[in-house]
Structure 1
Amino acid sequence: MKFRTKITAAVVCLLALLLAGCTAAPANPNTTAETAEATPAPAVEEAEKTAAAPTLRELTNAADGRCYLQSRIDETAQIYLTALDLTDGQQRVLCAKPGCTHTGPDCPAWLRADNSVQARQLRILTDGAQLYWTWETTGEGAPGTQPYSAVFTSGTEGAPAPLVEWMNRAPDYCGVYQQDYACTDSHWFTDGENLWVFQRCEPKDETGQPCFPASLCRLVPNEDPNGPSYRAECVWRQDIGAYGQYLGLVEGKILFSRSLRADGTPARRDGDYENTCRELRLLSADGSCSPALQTDTYGVTRAAALLDGLWYTVPAGSDQLQVTDLATGQTRTVCNLPLAGDGEGIDLGPVYEGRLAVAIARENREDGYVVQLDDGTLTPRTATWAKNGVTPRLPRLYARAGDRCLLMVGTRDRMLTAMGPDGSTDTFDSPVFLWAVTDLDSWLDGDQDWQLCTILNPDGDL
């Protein structure tokens, strides 16, 4: 995303109050933000809502020293729920059934026969205390039908998977929270009691053009033991064409961007990027939205990331790494990066104990650096593998839980044989990735004495 990194003092004051320009959440899920803004709630009511808004924590696939993976465990295509221990690197089937051979639907950890051509996407997230199975519609639905989405919870040990009928549109597992078909991405949160989902979809409007509404829904535990697990309600609905993109959490509030044309109308996928402006806003769990923190046109920033509540950017045409404190509006230059041209890709993150990892993808290699954030000192990172045996690549962070992380650190050769349509066979090299676990601190120190993972299916990838 592209943003200017300077915030005016007036905007900062508005952010601190979260009053002016905020709108109440539309009661009707089909009501747009434009409609809601026509009748704003009184400022006092908005202040009370903001003060009482829950603090959100994001759910991920890793917590409490484990990373939860949907994985093949043998040469078959069947998918099981597994846990990879971030301490010893061992991958295990998450099944506590005595004597289970993990060979199909009789195994509690069995998920499905394969992961191809799914009309809905299954994700398994955790807060460290339990697992949250989310099932979301991704394809186009019939006119007038409600997209089917659901949530199931289970413990982290033994993992009793949802019943098969839950994945086949069973209504008893609740969570009809999705506002549109064609889900493109979603992010899940908890406030310690309720679940929340920020979701972006890509339905088509009346002219057949894709539009990009975003919504925030709350899922409240149902007190009726004979009813669904949760009751879902939409608390916020974005303007239907404004490209609502999730960026991260700032003090328990959702930082997101919305895109508009220069005339203020919703931006569509029409290629008119130079006339598209993007706003950075904060969304509270009660549905109140801050004024724009930043407003810029496409291409102003070549790299941006929200890390530990701070907004890091590299402006276009510049080699400066800048950081903005969104609470105060203060922006400073951290350091100058060794950039050669605007065509290079820049990846920022993670931040850990005052250090930031930066990767720069050049034409024939990938260079990495660790930035000491207090003084801007750069320390080079070492590439550990080579794409196609030629292009140097850095270790790639896949997941983290606390100070432990899962890295992709290299590849090993694997020969595959495929049969062509005429019955002939072809043997070719298809490398598989090598995975390792280590401390984040050690990784940023450049230490490569990590623990290689023991994968259940060594000839497959995680």
Structure 2
Amino acid sequence: MKYRAAFAMALAALILTACAAEPAAGITPAAESAALAVTTQEPPAAAVASGKPLYILNSGGTAPEFAITDTTAYLPMKFGATLLATKIDFATAQQQVLCSVDGCSHVDAGCPAFMATDDDALSQYYTGGLVAAGDRLYWFINGGASPVNVRVDVSALDGSNRHTIVENSSIFQLDCTMSMCFTDGDALYLATAASSLVRLDDTGLTSVFPLNDGHPTPENPLYTQDNTPRCTILGCWQDMAVFACTPSLSGSGTGLIGVHTDGSVTDLGSYSIDFGSPTDWISTLHDGKLYYVPGSGDQAETIEVTDLAAQTTETLPLPAGGGWNNYCVAYGDGTIGLISNEINYAWTPGSDTAIELAPTWCKDTAVARSPVIYAENGTMALVKVSDRAISTPQLTPEGLPYQRQQTIRELALIPLQDLFSGGQNWTPVAMLDGALFD
């Protein structure tokens, strides 16, 4: 499983609706007494949205290949040599193959849920991802041949009306496991430092913000002249994918830029701090506020909150207890995740305390670990609560039998509010006899 770091090891009043995993409750404002400092930047021209607002998908989840809606989670799973699309219905807490054909054996390409198999023409080395955006489900099948390619299908959420919209495209442009995914309700947007911003819908792939052969221009500021990316994607706000770029468009410090869904660019100002990479999770963007934890290792003591609309940065103390890692992630309900001594906590900015997440799975036989939040929608979370090892019979290419050792991950559902209160009232998912791929 490709985890985003940490959990597997995780603008004041806006001009328009802000980017969020769901239109969730806002983050509690910090009391003035808690603020250590407030700095004001010289604001650029006001950002004006030119399209429908974007919402981030699975904002706090560590498994970007999983999709989640209000009622269902979608995840690819290996059954022997075959990768199939499956779903978990929240009402029943049961995993099912995404197939409604009576009597289907689910063993080959004749199954509507089929994604790939070891002898697939794409490659014997494959991975997959499912992303739900609006009323559409996007199927990503990544092949490991050289050059690495990806195919994308789209269907209704129940898997019907599935058809291919992209075939043999560069994985660097369409790797859903390495991208941030947004939707405006009509289409899916993937944002990475490598490909900037692309749009997927029923008609195929559109490059919203092309790279122009890597030469920086006011319209294309993401790359330097030696073709090196100098920006990293942080999230979305209004109708913009928000990137942190060093140097800024003005040439000094770190700048934030917004790439609108129509391809235009807005300068969101320059700052004296380095917001880092989203794979480091030292910064996170939620509801128009950018949260950044300076420091290194377990020495973090403060968090800096940048309001994109007001162009101000406020420094707040982290909760009592100390030993905080310079890590933070924003969940769909506005809660901030922190880590201290390898233990995960839930924190509301401005509060003096953080809540420890109840321990579940074990890294080894002695050390418990907090639940891994694979996917969350701002209300419900799909979490890993335990691991167990199994041995399954397999055949070598020569037809010889052997036992394949696998780790089965036991998953459960729990309301985010309960999880972030330290509760353990999760509902175990009745999982199928397959394996989540590594």
Identity, in percent, stands at 22
Please point out which of 45, 54, 72 is paired with 1:66.
72
Q: Distance in 1 between matches of 2:126 and 2:313?
A: 43
2:301 matched residue in structure 1: 319
Question: Does the residue aligned with 1:410 lie in a helix, a strand or coil?
Answer: strand
Question: Does the residue aligned with 2:420 lie in a helix, a strand or coil?
Answer: helix
Q: CA deviation at 1:83?
A: 0.5
Question: Does the residue aligned with 1:81 lie in a helix, a strand or coil?
Answer: strand
Letter in 1 for 2:85: L
Letter in 2 for 1:9: T
1:98 matched residue in structure 2: 102
Q: Distance in 1 between matches of 2:412 and 2:74?
A: 15
Does the CA contact (< 8 Å) of 1:242 and 1:260 recur in 2?
no
Question: Does the residue aligned with 2:293 lie in a helix, a strand or coil?
Answer: strand
Question: Does the residue aligned with 1:441 lie in a helix, a strand or coil?
Answer: helix
Do the aligned partners of residues 312 and 117 (structure 1) sit closer, same or farther apart at CA in structure 2, a change above 3 Å counting?
A: farther
Does the CA contact (< 8 Å) of 1:137 and 1:181 recur in 2?
no
Does the CA contact (< 8 Å) of 1:126 and 1:132 recur in 2?
yes
Q: CA deviation at 1:387?
A: 0.9
Do the aligned partners of residues 158 and 180 (structure 1) sit closer, same or farther apart at CA in structure 2, a change above 3 Å counting?
A: closer
Q: Distance in 2 between matches of 1:443 and 1:431?
A: 25
1:9 matched residue in structure 2: 40
Question: Does the residue aligned with 1:442 lie in a helix, a strand or coil?
Answer: helix
Q: CA deviation at 1:119?
A: 7.5
1:55 matched residue in structure 2: 53
Letter in 1 for 2:355: T
Q: Is residue 153 of structure 1 aligned with residue 154 of structure 2?
A: yes
Letter in 1 for 2:46: L
TM-score when scaled to structure 2? Answer: 0.69
Letter in 1 for 2:265: S
Structure with the higher helix share, 1 or 2: 1
Q: CA deviation at 1:235?
A: 3.2
Does the CA contact (< 8 Å) of 1:409 and 1:435 recur in 2?
yes
Does the CA contact (< 8 Å) of 1:124 and 1:134 recur in 2?
yes
Please point out which of 202, 226, 241 is paired with 1:254.
241
Q: Distance in 2 between matches of 1:400 and 1:181?
A: 25
Residues 262-305 of structure 1: per-residue CA shift (max 9 Å, x gap) = x969xxxxxxxxxxx65433222232131444244598998222
Does the CA contact (< 8 Å) of 1:280 and 1:295 recur in 2?
no
1:185 matched residue in structure 2: 178
Please point out which of 288, 294, 301 is paired with 1:309.
288
Q: CA deviation at 1:398?
A: 0.7
Does the CA contact (< 8 Å) of 1:370 and 1:379 recur in 2?
yes
1:206 matched residue in structure 2: none
Q: CA deviation at 1:137?
A: 7.8
Q: CA deviation at 1:68?
A: 0.9
Q: Distance in 2 between matches of 1:107 and 1:429?
A: 26
Does the CA contact (< 8 Å) of 1:7 and 1:293 recur in 2?
no
Query: 1:228-247 to 2 correspondence within 5 Å?
Result: 229-230=203-204, 232-237=206-211, 238-239=222-223, 240-247=227-234
Does the CA contact (< 8 Å) of 1:397 and 1:406 recur in 2?
yes
Letter in 2 for 1:326: L
Aligned length: 367
Letter in 2 for 1:338: G
Residues 5-43 of structure 1: per-residue CA shift (max 9 Å, x gap) = 9885343x21x514xxxxxxxxxxxxxxxxxxxxxxxxx
Does the CA contact (< 8 Å) of 1:95 and 1:158 recur in 2?
yes
Q: CA deviation at 1:442?
A: 1.0
Q: CA deviation at 1:113?
A: 1.0
Q: Is residue 294 of structure 1 aligned with residue 275 of structure 2?
A: no
TM-score when scaled to structure 1? Answer: 0.66
Q: CA deviation at 1:382?
A: 2.9
Q: Distance in 1 between matches of 2:201 and 2:436?
A: 37
Largest Rg, 1 or 2:
1
Does the CA contact (< 8 Å) of 2:241 and 2:258 recur in 1?
yes
Do the aligned partners of residues 338 and 417 (structure 1) sit closer, same or farther apart at CA in structure 2, a change above 3 Å counting?
A: farther
1:406 matched residue in structure 2: 382
